[in-house]
Copies of this chain bind each other. A is one copy, B any other.
Amino acid sequence: MAVAEGAAGNHDHARRGGHADAASARPVAEHLDWILGQLPILEPVRVPLEHALGLALAEDVTSATDTPPFDNSAMDGYAVRRADLLAATPMSPVVLPVVADLAAGTAQNPRIDAGQVARIMTGAPIPDGADAVVPIEDTDRGIDRVGILRVPEPAAHIRRAGSDAAAGDTILRAGTTLWPTRIAAAASAGRAELLVHPAPRVAVISTGDELIVPGTPARRGQIPDSNSYLLAAAVAQAGGVVHRIGAVPDNEESLRTVLDSLIGTVDAIILSGGVSVGAYDVVKAVLAPLGVWFGPVRMQPGKPQGFGRLPAAGTGSNSTTGKTGSAGSAALGPIVFALPGNPVSAFVSFEAFVRPALLFMGGHGTTTRPTITGTVARGWSSPSGRQQYMPVVCERRGQETLVWPATSGGSGSHLVAGLGQAEGLAIVPEESDTVAEGDLLPVMLVI
């Protein structure tokens, strides 16, 4: 359904030479949904716990045994029978024989009879017969016999078997992103490896005859490629495995060669540049005939967007020209994002579409950035009819977060230096044309 609309939009767009008014351009949310609806989810793989950080679970994890697996001591002290100690006070300690010494890790289970205690360390199993632990601080620290100064509460300082999780309990669900604490939970449940979705392998390509490698001499007309570094780092932060190609010139054959080299080795390709209405828009020239959608999205910056999938046969295959396939089809190659070339536009497009897509492919249940409500500290203007993403600095003041533009030139899409100060993207709805001090806006946190 969404795909069919997309294809129709593509034809409209081609007929009209890439120039569309606000009404025919796609809303941001619709474009994102359309993209997500076409994405494959990467086939699960088994990884050792140590390689699981940041990946998404592809299975529910249940506790194989009770956690902890046995009653154990929460303190260093003495395992006792509480009934023996009802008279204990600091002035008249109850003195009892110490019949065992139980370290953490011991397999011993000496029977504690009435009038006996065992010395016990944190984590050691509670021996049969004992029903409470007296911390070492409440004793005279005796070795053969110990004086106990206080009566413990019933079951004091005993961690019960299964109190963290009972055998069979689900402790982590499929789709969960594996943070450190969650990896620890899997380890505690006795898991050495986990079924996860792998990190997507992502190639990053800048296009443009004006681009040179940073640090090499520039002649008039040339600028350093910054987008491939920007997008490669953003992919890495989103958990992807990066293959940064760098800058490819505005030459269709060069671009086809590079793209074909990536078939079968990456899951996604991110291009920037070459997607607007100009005469040298090589990305569109190469990809549109293969069925990749190009068109305007109602956002600012980032209006010209492209998305699709390469044919598995590569760019040279006429037989696949113009076909668009369904997600997961064996005849399809990597997904392709064609982003605008201005750095701020490329960054905003990444955050709006590419990052959610990479997380979705990686099986993550949550694909959105944390979003807060920001209070505007200094206003700006916004284009009516387009959803604006304004890079903002954020400052927390109590429960409020003040935000203001990170770039002196507003969302001007070439302002890389100012963009480096942005901690969030404030999202201004399509219908607004001005943002005033005191306005409340959703702010997507990007760091």
Contact = CB atoms under 8 A, between A and B. Distances in A.
Contacts of A159: 414
Nearest to A230: B184
Nearest to A172: B420
Nearest to A279: B121
A372 interface: yes
A184 B226 CA distance: 5
A227 B184 contact: yes
Interface in A100-118: 101, 103-109
A405 B76 CA distance: 27
Contact of A67 (B69, B185, B236, B416): B416
Contacts of A19: 137
B221 A49 contact: no
Contact of A122 (B105, B123, B189, B276): B276
A218 B190 contact: yes
Q: Could you say which of A184, A236, A244 has the most chain B C-beta atoms within 10 Å of its C-beta?
A: A184
A331 interface: no
A341 interface: yes
Nearest to A397: B373
B225 A171 contact: no
A56 to B, nearest CB: 14
A131 to B, nearest CB: 18
Contacts of A123: 208, 210, 223, 341
A271 interface: no
A124 B210 contact: yes
A208 B104 contact: yes
Contacts of A119: 279
Given A185-B420, A188-B223, A223-B123, A136 B233 contact: no
A350 B208 CA distance: 46
A222 interface: yes
A262 to B, nearest CB: 18
Nearest to A344: B181
B399 A399 contact: yes
A96 B201 CA distance: 50
Interface string A1-13: 0000000000000
A402 to B, nearest CB: 11
Contacts of A164: 414-418
B215 A124 contact: no
A276 B417 contact: no
Interface string A168-195: 0101100000111111111111111100
Interface string A340-379: 0111000100000000000000000000001111010000
Contacts of A103: 209, 250, 279-280
A14 interface: no
A109 B236 CA distance: 40
A440 B397 CA distance: 13
A376 to B, nearest CB: 13
Contacts of A74: 414
A232 interface: yes
23 contacts: A67-B416, A76-B279, A103-B250, A105-B221, A105-B222, A105-B249, A105-B250, A107-B222, A122-B278, A137-B277, A164-B417, A164-B418, A171-B420, A178-B233, A179-B237, A181-B347, A184-B227, A186-B214, A188-B417, A189-B224, A372-B396, A398-B440, A399-B401
